[in-house]
Amino acid sequence: METKVFATITLLVLFLQSNAQSEKNKFIFGIKGGYNHTVINGYETNGAKTGFIGSTVFGSLFGERGISENKFLSAEFTYSWVNDWNFVEIPFHFRQMLNRQISIFAGPKLDVAADKIDKSKESTSRLLGISAEAGAQYDFSHHLFGEVKYSVGVTENFNDVFFDINNGKRDNFRIGAGYRF
């Protein structure tokens, strides 16, 4: 499964980075940041429902490629943390402009438990998870935009012995701003 996910990501990134044939196919990159609100829903060892709620900031790098006059494909690399947990997220979105300033987007998101990579932490979380993400953007100018998005955990990949959270799904609400170079 992980090999198929990485192969899909590689193909999408190569598609986004291929040479532009016209203005509509222009490749754009930028940065985003803002407020992150995380809710983790899981189960205690005895089977009772439990969870965690926390808020912090996030930061992202993104690339976007126009596929028509008002449709875009994008890939993003996001880092966030809450409490002592670190997350790397890689969403892939299809974005549709509704008018000159407002657009909506949706797509899958690959969730990487960064703590799993840190050998000093004894994380029992799965390395990879999948979420579904949707949101909206408002363009203040050609470069500056505001964004709100929500993601819902699809896979149960979060585990924490200290908080007794097992088979947790992680949902996020984000509001932030971005800049296209």
pLDDT tens track for 97-155: 999 999 999 999 999 887 666 666 666 777 789 999 999 999 999 999 999 999 999 99
Give CA–CA dist 49/36, Å, rounded: 23
- How crowded is residue 83: how many other Cβ atoms within 10 Å of its Cβ? 13
Q: What is the pTM of this model?
A: 0.81
What SS3 state is found at 9? helix
Report whether 40 contacts 165 (CB < 8 A). Answer: yes
For the chain, give every domain's residue range.
Answer: 2-18+28-180
**Cα gap 181→145, rounded to integer Å:** 12
* CATH architecture for the domain at 2-18+28-180: Beta Barrel (2.40)
